[in-house]
C-alpha cells in the first residue's frame, strides 16, 4: 500500500489523487447518510454513479450535493430499489440488465438496524430479508454486469459480533426475537455473502469484501431510543476500559464512508477479497465479548458461507451460478 489510512480518515483522504473518470459504480441506499457521502465522493473524482433507493423523491433531494460536486466527468443517476420487496429487487435488476451497461464496482450500502420484529413483503424477517436477501438477489441478478476485475463491497458492521447466522431458523419462527440479535445475524450474512461471492467470481478477477463503517449517527439508528443507544455505548466503554483501550468516539459521515471507498477503489483487490475490513484496513480475527475491533471466525467460515448461499437460494426461490 502506498498510503496508510485509519479510523479518522475521510473519503476525501482515501480518494486523494484517485482518478475515477470512466468508472461506473453502483451504490445502494443513496437517500441518506453513508450512501449519499459515498456517491458524492466517487462522483467528485469522476465516477459515473448509479444510486439505488427505495424512495426516489427523497433520494433526489438528498443527492443534490452529489450532482453539485460531481467533477471530471462524474455524474449520478437514480434507480428505484426496495430491498424489502423482491418484486422491486427483480425489476431493478431487470432494468439494469436490459440497459446492459457494466459496472466496475457494486457497493451494497443500504440497510436497516435494530428494527422491531416484522416481515418483508415476501415474509422474511425484516433485517435478514432487507439487509441480506434483498442484496443477495439483486447482486446475483446483475453479477454478469460486474466487469472482469471488478469488485463487490458489502456494508456489514461490528454488529456481526452480536450473532452468527441461524441456518435452521432464519426468520425467528422458533427463536425469541431480539433487535440486535437479528441485526447481528443480518450483518454476519453480509460478510458470508461476500466470502462466497468472492470464491465464485475471483477466477475472472471479481473480488468481494465486507466492511464495517464504524459508529456513525445516521438515519440507520432511527429505531433506537436514546436510552438504548447510551446503554450500548456504556457497554462498549466498559469493555474498552477493561482492555485499556480508548473510549468510544462517533465517526463523522465522511469518516464512516471512507472504508467503503477504500475497499472499492483504493485497496489492492487481492488484499481485501473475501475478507472483512474496518478503519481502512483488513480486520484481524477477534473472539470474546468485545464489540470493537476485529472479525469473528464464523463470519469468514467458507463452509458456512456456502451453506448460507444454499439457504438463501432456497428462501428466494432462485438458483445462481
pLDDT at 2 (0 to 100): 47
Contact 78, 30 (CB under 8 A): yes
DSSP 17: T
pLDDT at 222 (0 to 100): 59
In the chain (321 residues long), the average pLDDT of successive 10-residue segments reads: 83 98 98 97 98 98 98 98 98 98 98 96 98 99 98 97 97 97 98 99 98 81 61 62 70 97 98 98 86 89 98 98 87
Residue 223 annotated as catalytic:
no
Nearest to 156 by CA among 195, 213, 116, 216: 213
Owner of C-alpha cell 431510543: 225
pLDDT at 1 (0 to 100): 42
Indicate yes or no: pTM above 0.85.
yes
- E strand spans, the chain: 24-28, 48-53, 75-80, 103-108, 146-155, 207-212, 276-278, 281-282
Q: Which entry of 177, 183, 223, 298 is annotated as an active-site residue? A: 177
Distance CA 74, CA 46 (A): 4
Work out the number of other CB atoms within 10 angstroms of the CB of residue 281: 19
Contact 34, 2 (CB under 8 A): no
Q: Which residues of 306-317 are buried (b: 16+ CB within 10 A; e: fewer)?
A: eebbebbeebbe
Residue 118, helix vs strand vs coil: coil
pLDDT at 289 (0 to 100): 63
Q: What is the DSSP string of 157-189?
A: -GGGGG----SS-TT-SSS---HHHHHHHHHHH
pLDDT at 287 (0 to 100): 87
The domain locations on the chain are 11-224+253-316
Here the cell at position 145 is 454486469
Phi/psi for 282 (5° steps) reads: -75, 130
Q: Which CATH superfamily is domain 11-224+253-316 in?
A: NAD(P)-binding Rossmann-like Domain (3.40.50.720)
Amino acid at each position: 500500500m502506498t498510503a496508510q489510512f485509519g479510523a479518522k480518515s475521510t473519503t476525501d483522504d482515501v480518494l486523494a489523487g484517485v482518478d475515477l473518470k470512466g468508472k461506473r459504480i453502483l451504490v445502494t441506499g443513496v437517500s441518506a447518510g453513508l450512501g449519499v457521502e459515498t456517491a458524492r465522493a466517487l462522483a467528485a473524482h469522476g465516477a459515473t454513479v448509479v444510486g439505488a433507493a427505495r424512495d426516489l423523491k427523497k433520494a433526489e433531494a438528498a443527492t443534490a450535493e452529489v450532482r453539485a460536486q460531481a467533477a471530471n466527468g462524474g455524474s449520478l443517476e437514480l434507480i428505484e430499489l426496495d430491498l424489502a420487496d423482491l418484486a422491486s429487487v427483480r425489476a431493478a435488476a431487470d432494468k439494469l440488465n436490459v440497459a446492459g451497461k457494466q459496472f466496475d464496482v457494486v457497493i451494497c450500502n443500504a440497510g436497516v438496524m435494530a428494527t422491531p420484529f416484522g416481515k418483508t413483503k415476501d415474509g422474511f424477517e425484516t433485517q435478514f430479508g432487507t439487509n441480506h436477501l434483498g442484496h443477495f438477489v439483486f447482486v446475483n441478478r446483475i453479477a454478469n454486469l460486474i466487469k472482469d476485475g471488478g469488485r463487490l463491497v458489502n456494508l456489514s458492521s461490528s454488529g456481526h459480533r452480536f450473532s452468527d447466522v441461524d441456518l435452521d431458523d432464519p426468520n425467528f419462527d422458533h427463536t425469541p426475537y431480539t433487535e440486535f440479535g437479528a441485526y447481528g445475524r443480518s450483518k454476519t450474512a453480509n460478510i458470508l455473502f461476500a466470502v462466497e461471492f468472492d470464491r465464485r467470481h475471483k477466477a475472472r478477477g471479481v473480488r468481494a469484501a465486507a466492511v464495517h463503517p464504524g459508529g456513525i449517527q445516521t438515519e440507520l439508528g432511527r429505531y433506537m431510543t436514546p436510552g438504548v443507544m447510551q446503554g450500548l455505548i456504556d457497554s462498549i466503554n466498559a469493555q474498552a476500559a477493561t482492555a485499556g483501550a480508548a473510549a468510544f468516539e462517533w465517526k463523522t459521515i465522511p469518516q464512516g464512508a471512507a472504508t467503503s471507498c477504500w475497499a472499492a477503489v483504493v485497496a489492492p483487490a487481492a488484499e481485501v477479497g473475501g475478507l472483512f475490513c474496518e478503519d481502512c484496513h483488513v480486520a484481524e480475527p477477534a473472539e470474546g465479548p468485545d464489540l470493537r475491533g476485529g472479525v469473528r471466525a464464523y463470519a469468514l467460515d467458507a463452509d458456512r458461507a456456502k451453506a448460507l448461499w444454499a439457504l438463501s437460494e432456497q428462501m428466494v426461490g432462485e438458483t445462481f451460478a
